[in-house]
Chain A
Amino acid sequence: MNILVCAKRVPMTGGTIVLTEDEQAIQTRHLGFTISPHEECGVEEAVRLIEANGGESVVLALGPSEAEEQLRDAMALGIDRAILLETADEFDGQATAAAIVAAIEAERASGVEFDLIFFGNESADSGNYQVGIRVAHALGRPCVTGVKGITVQDGRARCEQETASGRDVYDVPLPAVVTVKEGLNLPRYPSVPGRLRAKRKPLATSAPSGRAAGVEKLRLRLPPGQGKQAEILGHGPEAAPAVVEVLRRAGLVA
């Protein structure tokens, strides 16, 4: 089987997020980059399924040339090859989905059919919850979102969602699109040989076709009260009553 994982390069933020002066982006001068925890689980699941079933795993990102770093990270974990849809522009959900669909069709034209396409349930930065569903719709495939458990057998995928009362289970025919959530599995760490192999794995770069007019970003605003606040309740035994009071207010002690 063949599996495609779509992932997005996002900043790895600390406690306090700082915006650029024009309020169009997050200040990333001191930040590292990563993919969302959901997508990390997607990568891990793809690697495990291919290890178990054979076939090829592919990771795809749409973003700046630096997104190669995240694609190599995924390949260090065992993904076989990568596709970078390189653009300096910011694409909204609709445009991103269109570009990914075009890339999938190009793969099909060269003879690669993906049985499963994984997305993170939502991206870690913009959180639009759209791209996976849009891609599934455009391709006319079934789509299950928010998945925390998946088994593949006999051309079908059994997908589990967590709900307040238990689990909802969807059984879909392949090919299908699945958006996954953190908790699906415990992603591995890359090994050093994996890292070194990733350097040599194939990465195909292409420019996605023009973005469609869709969502327009006016500016970003920071929510009030962001950042961690610490209050020192006291030192040594004298602090005990204050701690008890906090626990009482939290309803943890009577």
Chain B
Amino acid sequence: MSDLPTSARAVVIGAGIVGNSISYHLSELGWRDLVLLDKGPFPNPGGSTGHASNFIFPVDHSKEMTALTLDSMRQYQDLDVFTESGGIEVARTEERMQELHRRMSSAHAWGIDRVSMVTPAEIKGMVPFIDETILLGGFSSPGVGVVDSLRAGTIMRERAVAAGALTISANTEVLGIDGERGRVRRVRTTRGDIETEVVVVACGVWSPAIAHMAGALIPLTPAVHQMIDIGPVPRFASSTRHIEYPIVRDMDTFMYERQDGIGLEIGSYAHRPILHDPEEIPSIEQAALSPTELPFTQADFDKQMEDALELMPEIVGDESVGVKYAINGLLSLTPDGMPLLGETHEVRGLWSCAAVWVKEGPGIAKAVAEWMTHGESEIDLHSSDIARFWDHQKTRAHVRARTSEGFNKTYGIIHPSEQWASNRDVRLPPFHARQKQLDAVFFEAAGWERPHWYESNAPLLEEYADRINPREAEWDARWWSPIINAEHLAMRDRAGMVDLSAFTIFDVAGPGALEAVQGVAMRQMDVPVGRVVYTPVLTPGGGFKADLTIMRLDDELFRVVTGGAHGPADRKWFADRLPKEGTAQIADLTSAWTTLGLWGPRARDILSSVTRDDVSHEGFRFGSCRTIEIDTLRVLASRISYVGDLGWELYVPIEQGQKLWDVIAEAGRPHGIAPVGIGVYGTTGRLEKCYRAYGFELESEYNVCEAGMAGPKVKEEDFVGKQAHLRHRDEEPATIMCTLTVDDHTSASGVKRYMLGREPIQTRDGQPLTDSRGRRSYVTSAGAGPSVGKHLLMAYLPPEQAQVGTELAVEYLNERYPVTVAVAGSTPIFDPENERIRS
């Protein structure tokens, strides 16, 4: 055992699959003087890796998670610790059968073609000890396998040590993490102190407690996953390999069964949520088994035993087969089910690599190591970025509420628009009381309650009865209302008012403010005061980090407005790149300003009736902003639009929001104004205009040219990603953002179906489309286009297919529907000349 060095380039805390793997990947990327600590012994320090079930099903509805899992599988294979067993997700209900068809489509969207739907008889053929008579079918994934995660960690750790990059220290407990001026300075341990500016918290269920030492928050909770091992199974007695039969996920009971040598492991996500606190996990010495293998609570598992007995009576019902091992295993759960990756908001240099399971561990470790090295990773990690959480979402109560609600969703059927029920009504816009009076249906965005549509608009359904396309299938219509389409049409015909309170708003101010925004924004920011600039923000590699608007309010004052969900990450991106001399500062004004959108052909009539300021087309040009007086309020009005109609975003101090709402609603009444929800703003309005959205069309894996957003010229000044962007402009784009229309919605059963997004785009005969960089074509966004009378899909297509009129197909729930390319590039499908917004 080497002595601990007194200083290190980086200290990795936690030697589970994540800590070992990230140490290795950092060393591969050239990092030296690394230290890896764990309070437990090697190779199994007692964390969740040590009792993990270690199987990997590659298909997930999340593109990000699937990419990370596939990369992990490749790494495990390279380390020779992967055994392919195959796996089957079985269905006992019709609802689950539909979900398995949806998984087929997700597999195809993310490039996994070795999958198929199988009949009960075929399942029986692969898993002879199953009672197939209770099943309706299954989703077979032959690439599923089992890994030796402890061995993988050991190999990676040893490679980093052999490379001379890493010092390891087992049985070394962290006593404290010291910071200075918001940065990590040192890690104090039972074996001495280490000076360092970079710490990676890879402590699994202990991560919140370790981060807390530095003053940072990692919002996860240790939660119980019950599993038992039964054996010896007579049928497995002659097994020559550890696993010879496919792993079965009994999806409807939230359970899995897998062979493990001569035993059968049965695991469950069906029991009540059992949460623990990181500080309360027993020490290695106190624990009867290991700190994360807690005493089994039988009563919570009784129902699961019955379910397992029903599915596999030959083995589970065998009186000679005993329950040999049963634990309440601890694993990490987060409020939204995704990992917690990246530098913490609170402390510079303190990186979180937590809430990571074995199946995605090495892939995540590699991606985070890239992020730490290059400022971005090959796989876009925005859904896992720890910066996605607002402060209130890091509280213990929120984490416990959401993880309690989410635990049973682990194997659940989750609708893409599904809303959380717990801990709502946290961020209420000043319009909330009015919205409740209007029977708004609220969706949550970054903790804000936002109307998705207003039930009070139901009378509009009659007015637009022939144009609103009600959805026949329950799944398509879940978390949706035809009122959205009616609101859309009312806005296009007259005017709509939209609550935009969830915007993240921050000011960049000071003598260095121009330099600060110029260095981050792709577009020219040295514009006259009073201009609004919509700009991409690029990663160093020229992919999308964000897209947002910046208002120049004064020579040394810029106001950045971006989405609620990615706001904290965007704010951090700007904050991390402020001039070193301290000549510019950021102030978050999200909770100081509220925003009301007013759009539609009557918007000017309405606004001019309550202001004496000049809001004529000539007097208030598109792309400009200025303070005007509306009734008794001074309002910052910004003439831009994300829905493609004439109008303004109106900003007022938050406590004056209700007054603004009332004034606009009253002035709009004679013009037939309707309150309009985010269903229009976020989907129907923007899709008709082919406006892209971050996290959907815009990700770091795609560049500005591919997205059709390059613009005629590149500014002189330097900005993040400029070199890469110049390179991209010289290349033929490998893929092109297109808008497609669905030609026929009729399914095999005769029901009209409406795609919801993330489905694969294929040729008419079902061949996948893959671009020259290996990226599959899939639907980035889907939704109605009520004004154009079509269901619209956005997708990146290879150049050969990215031609108007190309006939293709979309696979939805494992059935193909004909689609046609309507737009290649960014020309809007509705009002292509943009006459409305420029009138």
List the interface of chain A (C-beta within 8 A of B).
12-16, 18, 29-33, 69, 72-73, 188-196, 199, 227-228, 230, 232, 235
Contacts and interface: CB of A to CB of B under 8 A. Distances in A.
Contacts, number: 76
11 contacts: A14-B288, A15-B286, A29-B280, A30-B295, A31-B295, A72-B298, A194-B319, A195-B302, A196-B305, A196-B309, A199-B302
Given A14-B285, A16-B285, A16-B286, A195 B323 contact: yes
Contacts of B295: 12, 30-33
Given A13-B288, A15-B285, A30-B287, A191 B319 contact: yes
Nearest to A69: B298
Given A12-B295, A31-B288, A193 B282 contact: no
Contact of A192 (B41, B287, B288, B309): B309
Contact of A191 (B280, B302, B308, B321): B321
Nearest to B306: A196
In the A-B complex, the 5 residue pairs with the smallest Cβ-Cβ separation, listed nearest first, are A32-B295, A189-B322, A16-B285, A30-B282, A14-B288
Given A15-B285, A191-B318, 12 more contacts: A14-B287, A16-B286, A18-B286, A30-B287, A32-B288, A33-B295, A189-B322, A191-B323, A192-B309, A195-B305, A195-B323, A196-B302
A193 B280 CA distance: 35
Interface in B217-272: 230
B327 to A, nearest CB: 9
Given A196-B302, A227-B285, A191 B320 contact: yes
B15 interface: no
A195 B1 CA distance: 47
B319 A189 contact: no
Contacts of A188: 322
A192 B1 CA distance: 46
A232 B320 CA distance: 42
Interface in B306-353: 306, 308-309, 316-324
Contacts of A69: 298-299
A14 B282 contact: yes
A189 B323 contact: yes
Contacts of A72: 298
B620 interface: no
Contacts of A196: 302, 305-306, 309
B578 interface: no
A235 B1 CA distance: 7
Nearest to A194: B319
Nearest to A29: B280
Given A30-B294, A31-B295, A192 B308 contact: yes
A238 to B, nearest CB: 12
Nearest to B327: A32
Contacts of A191: 230, 318-323
Contacts of B305: 192, 195-196
Nearest to B283: A16
Nearest to A191: B319
A99 B296 CA distance: 30
Given A14-B285, A235-B1, A193 B319 contact: yes
B387 to A, nearest CB: 34
A190 B302 contact: no
A29 B805 CA distance: 67
Given A15-B285, A15-B286, A192 B294 contact: no
A190 B323 contact: yes
Contacts of A232: 1
Contacts of B324: 189
Nearest to A189: B322
Contacts of B286: 14-16, 18, 30
Contacts of A30: 280-282, 286-287, 294-295
Contacts of A16: 283, 285-286
Nearest to B324: A189
A29 B279 CA distance: 13
A122 to B, nearest CB: 20
Contacts of A15: 284-287
Contacts of B317: 192-193
A200 to B, nearest CB: 11
A29 B294 CA distance: 11
B198 to A, nearest CB: 28
Contacts of B308: 192
B636 to A, nearest CB: 55
Contacts of A228: 285
A196 B289 CA distance: 25
A228 B322 CA distance: 30
Nearest to A187: B322
A195 B308 CA distance: 13
Given A189-B324, A232-B1, A195 B298 contact: yes
Contacts of A12: 288, 295
Contacts of A199: 302
A136 B388 CA distance: 69
A196 B305 CA distance: 8
A12 B294 CA distance: 11
A194 B306 CA distance: 11
A190 B41 CA distance: 32
Given A14-B285, A14-B287, A192 B321 contact: yes
Given A12-B295, A14-B285, A232-B1, A192 B302 contact: no
Interface in B737-795: none
Nearest to B266: A192
A192 B282 contact: no
Contacts of A193: 309, 316-317, 319
Nearest to B289: A14
A196 B298 CA distance: 11
B288 to A, nearest CB: 4
Contacts of B306: 196
Most buried by B among A18, A191, A192, A193: A192
Contacts of A192: 230, 305, 308-309, 316-317, 321, 323
Contacts of B289: 14
Nearest to A199: B302
A188 B231 CA distance: 11
Nearest to B302: A199
A72 B297 CA distance: 12
B309 to A, nearest CB: 6
Nearest to B328: A32
Contacts of B321: 191-192
A246 B285 CA distance: 24
Interface in B1-30: 1
A228 B288 CA distance: 13
A31 B289 CA distance: 10
A183 B456 CA distance: 76
Contacts of A189: 322-324
B50 to A, nearest CB: 15
Most buried by A among B230, B286, B299, B305: B286
A230 B282 CA distance: 19
Contacts of B322: 188-191
A235 B316 CA distance: 45
A235 to B, nearest CB: 7
A16 B320 CA distance: 35
A236 to B, nearest CB: 11
Nearest to B309: A192
Contacts of A194: 319
A191 B288 CA distance: 23
A44 to B, nearest CB: 12
Contacts of B316: 192-193
Nearest to A13: B288
A13 B324 CA distance: 18
B66 to A, nearest CB: 34
B493 to A, nearest CB: 64
A192 to B, nearest CB: 5
Contacts of B287: 14-15, 30
B508 to A, nearest CB: 50
A72 B41 CA distance: 36
A123 to B, nearest CB: 18
